[in-house]
Amino acid sequence: MKELRDKVAVITGGASGIGRSLAARLQQEGMTVVIADFDRDQLARTSDELGVLGVPTDVSRYEEVEQLAATVKARYGAVHLICNNAGVGIYAGFERLSLDDIRWMMDVNFWGVVHGTRAFLPLLRENADGGHIMNTASMNSLYVLPGGTAYGASKFAVLGFTETLAAELALEGAPIGVTAFCPGPTRTAIAESPGKRPRSYGTLPVLDETDVASRAFQSLNLDSYIAPEPVVEMAVEAIRENRFWVISHPDLMEPYTERHQAVMAAIGRA
């Protein structure tokens, strides 16, 4: 994937935020880009603005992701890059979350990645020059934050899946690269996702000053939030250079370092 021009990329969660920025950046590289999103209105606006094909898709439903793959294959004949980027989230204390809240985040954040990989990996294998899979994990796949029992768990699952997938493909010598995209605080529309979720997941949790976990998360330094463009630039460079890791905020990795040191200390005690 060192050469991106004239190749086809599919981005889930592509209507806004990191997904939209990634679509625009890959267009600059000369790629044909297809975006998929659950939000049909925003998808229509973004596809018109960028001049790309937009396919309404609920990544939690495999049949819709499978149809997305078939649509792109029929339209463009191939897929070279799949970016499993769709994500949703609620930061709240565990006891404030219903089981449906947790299932929703797992269905989109984790199962969406599994569905995208399952549907598109066979298409990547058809390419003589291989292809690439980029899964959006999060810095929350490396360490935890208060209020993230569900969101963090979904992202830890994404990272475990992605690392194992990369190892399996390397073991067989497949010409398919894998990247774990771990952005930190980035200005996106993920905070709006709860208001768009299907009614089948029930009502949203009530978050107020009595939810210590939610309050702790809200107190984090918002100055750390950056625009999507520099984060996306790191991702595109990693795809081109076939690098696994993309970490956008090295200044926020102290909790990971502490976690790693705690694990190493436990190993030492053993």
**Sign of the alpha-carbon dihedral angle for 216, 219, 220, 222:** positive
Q: Please give the Cα distance from 268 to 192 (Å, whole number).
A: 44
* Residues with Cβ within 8 Å of residue 80, at least 6 apart in sequence: 1, 7, 8, 9, 31, 124, 127, 129, 130, 131, 132
Sheet with 32-37, edge to edge strand ranges: 53-56, 32-37, 8-12, 81-84, 131-136, 176-182, 245-247
Question: What are the helix and strand counts (H, E) for the chain?
Answer: 9, 7
Q: How far from the centroid of its chain's Cα atoms is residue 41's Cα?
A: 21
- For helices 62-76 and 111-125, the axis angle rounded to 10 degrees is 30
Catalytic residue flag (residue 91):
no
Three-state DSSP class for residue 135:
strand
Kindly name the residue from 91, 143, 151, 201 that is annotated as catalytic: 151
Catalytic center residues: 151
